[in-house]
A and B are shown apart, each in its own frame.
Chain A
Amino acid sequence: MSVLDRVVGGVSCREVLVDLSEYVDGELPPTRVAAVEAHLAGCDRCERFGGRFASTVAALRRSLARPTGGVPPEMAAGLRRRLAEDGAA
């Protein structure tokens, strides 16, 4: 038996691990949200991991949203030349 088989609040740690992304995204049905939250209230490991998982996904979104400089000028110009050859520009 794995540590992830531990059941708290009627739900195992493994089930919470499976549902974690949907929970963080607000996409779990309400009854499932209640079950996950009952588990998190009584399971330190899942509560800690869930928090860190959510923070890291949020950090990923912030990182992705940072400006990256767009399309390099030579690529943008090359695209427009190619489109012009095709009658698209």
Chain B
Amino acid sequence: MSEADDARLLAAAADGDRRAFARFVDRHEASVLRYLRAAAAQDADADDAFQEAFLAAWRGAGGFRGEGSARAWMLTVARNALRRHHRRRAGEPTGYEPLEDLDHLGRAAGWGRPEPAEEALEREDLLRWALDGLAPGDREILVLRELEGLGGEEVAELLGLSLAAQKSRLHRARLRFVARVRSQALTDDEEDRA
């Protein structure tokens, strides 16, 4: 199925076609859950927002105007559901981490420093650990760009950022990921040699 098919499903859903909406859910539920779990501080928050996201999509299907992709629209709806869930739990931090000096990030990621063996990049456990340990804001943008394949402008709009701010956030998220992979891989190398 294509992007045009998604648009037709949403248009039909806006007219009350429940079967069309069910097909839309089938197509997007896995990526919505994956995104919410990346963007949320805890899986429980993501799981609570999951149902709310699709309810909001059903009720608001007529709001999809076809100006961007249906996938980006659905992820925006999901993001808004998560934010509403966070607002109901007053005091829960949802914000992005403070801006770190880029020099520091670059050095932590390994610029000008020894590197672990290239084989570390084949370790799925290490890559998962590195991703899971990032802040929700970093995981969120990495999932949107690296897994969902959304473009910079789509992600900027979804996150309510300027294009420049989106680029900066993506770059910093990548550097933090690289830093975590490097740090743990070097630790593991040392322990293996001991």
Contact = CB atoms under 8 A, between A and B. Distances in A.
Given A14-B103, A71-B29, A89-B18, A59 B121 contact: yes
A3 B50 CA distance: 47
Contacts of B131: 60, 63-64
The B interface, classified by DSSP as helix, strand, loop or mixed, is: helix
Contact of A88 (B21, B103, B118): B21
A66 B51 CA distance: 24
Contact of B146 (A27, A60, A86): A60
Q: What is the size category of the interface that chain A forms with chain B?
A: 35 or more
Contacts of A56: 121, 174, 177-178, 181
Interface in B169-191: 170-171, 174-175, 177-178, 181
Given A56-B178, A65-B147, 10 more contacts: A21-B171, A49-B111, A53-B175, A57-B178, A64-B147, A70-B29, A70-B30, A71-B30, A79-B54, A83-B22
Contacts of A32: none
Given A52-B115, A88-B21, A60 B142 contact: yes
Interface of B: 18, 21-22, 25, 29-30, 33-34, 47, 50-51, 54-55, 58-59, 102-103, 106, 109-112, 115, 118, 121-122, 124, 127-128, 131, 142-143, 146-147, 152, 167, 170-171, 174-175, 177-178, 181
Contact of B50 (A21, A27, A75, A87): A75
Interface string A40-77: 00000110110011011101110111101011000110
Given A49-B110, A60-B177, A68 B34 contact: yes
Contacts of B34: 68
A4 interface: yes
Contacts of B128: 63
Nearest to B58: A88
Interface in A1-59: 2-4, 13-14, 17-18, 20-22, 27, 45-46, 48-49, 52-53, 55-57, 59
Interface of A: 2-4, 13-14, 17-18, 20-22, 27, 45-46, 48-49, 52-53, 55-57, 59-61, 63-66, 68, 70-71, 75-76, 78-80, 82-83, 86-89
11 contacts: A14-B102, A20-B171, A57-B146, A60-B127, A64-B146, A65-B147, A70-B33, A71-B30, A75-B47, A82-B54, A83-B54
B139 to A, nearest CB: 10
Contacts of A18: 102, 171
